[in-house]
A and B are shown apart, each in its own frame.
Chain A
Amino acid sequence: MAHPLIATLPHRPPMVLVDDITDLYPGDRITTVKHIDPIEICYRDANPLAPYPVTLLLESFVQSAALLWFGSDPVHPGEQLLFAGITNADIGAPPIPGQTIVHHVKLLACIGSNAFFTGHCEVPGSPTALTVERVALARRPLA
């Protein structure tokens, strides 16, 4: 059964791109996993062994960062979570269906309704799939 914190994400299927949390140190760091499945929407007309889209790999990382934030400061009713930006993300060997991505995310700072994270993700035993210098998330009132 998946970690209950995942249910606090505002995302719902098919846009929940974190399967489980394997380590959580609230306010510090988180480790999550995401299994790549060829039944996902992005593979509907594609080679079932094609690399996972970089955009969805990044979204999975960003959701992992959000879970780290929510672990120490739950989202409040009337708030929306926004992906505000990213600096220096290097994309390496993307995963393929059948593989499991492991995200390692660390909180850099929380400043008001903004938070900044760093980290990387990998398929164990393979070259690093993604390295992120800084991701920025924001909480804003629902419009």
Chain B
Amino acid sequence: MAEVAHFPAAGTERERVITPYQEEQALLAAIRAGDRQAAEELVERTYSAVFASVFRLCGDSDLAADLTQETYQKAWGALKGFDGRSQLFTWLYRIAYTTFLNHVRRPRRMTSLDEPDAMDVQDERPGAEEQLADAEEAQRLREAVMKLPEDLRFTVTAHFWGGLPVKEIASIEEITTVAIRKRLHKAFTMIEAMLAEEVQ
């Protein structure tokens, strides 16, 4: 059984996920040739990072797992359309991001059939309050990011939550790296303004 991947700091994670170009192209060619083992290797290499990115988008572990699975289901079918201009993980992230947005855009708020509505449980463990505060702050930040215009939102989430370098985002968005940096700057301004409004 495969080991569950660890989650080191963002920089290391980026290195693990974005494999050298030639290696990646060889893997892609093998998958397209019908090599199932190559497909499984791709899964092993990337699923943790995809899960992490989706978790940062939605904040829920179970939902992130489901959306990750759905991402790969779509990826297999979209493989023939992948031209290899961007890296495999960049392409996967794009699919994961779209999958997440499709989930969010469904008209009704999803609630589990089994879970109770009331989830307020007082946690008596030490440090729980701090954890709760961190979680609330993360949630506010997530909500602020989700309110950004689509182009800014994708850029911010891809860079910070998907771990994609600016160059990769520029490649997938088909614009320059300067334009990406401008987007980030504009996004920061808007997020700050939204967070400041909430505080007031």
Q: Do A and B come from one complex?
A: no
Chain B contact residues, CB within 8 Å of chain A: none
Contacts from A to B (Cβ < 8 Å): none
